[in-house]
Amino acid sequence: MATVDDEEFEFLKRRADSLNLFIAEHKNFDPCLGNGSLYIMPKRKTPQERCPTFLKYATPEQCWEFFEAYK
């Protein structure tokens, strides 16, 4: 169960792209936790690269706030 609709996710994805970030939904998201399903991390330069996660189990609102602070 996603916490974000497709249209808003597309806007979030475009914003993340413009900041050279990657955004996706957790595969094993549990809505009972009360948080969001999104995470943000830097884009990988190589497939083997391990990147830190900047934001975990976030709502769309938290992602927009993060983007504002990140720029």
| pLDDT at residue 8, as a whole number | 94
- Enter the pTM of the model: 0.84
Do strands 38-42 and 55-58 pair parallel, antiparallel, or not at all (unpaired)? Answer: antiparallel
Best CA proximity match to 22, nearest among 46, 51, 48, 1: 51
Whether 40 contacts 16, CB under 8 Å = yes
Give the DSSP per-residue string, 17-62. Answer: HHTTEEEEE-TT--GGG-S-SEEEEEPPSSTT-----SEEEE-HHH
More confident residue, 63 or 35: 63
| pLDDT at residue 2, as a whole number | 57
Query: pLDDT of 8-56, one tens digit each?
Result: 999 999 999 999 999 999 887 777 777 888 999 999 999 899 999 999 9
| pLDDT at residue 1, as a whole number | 45
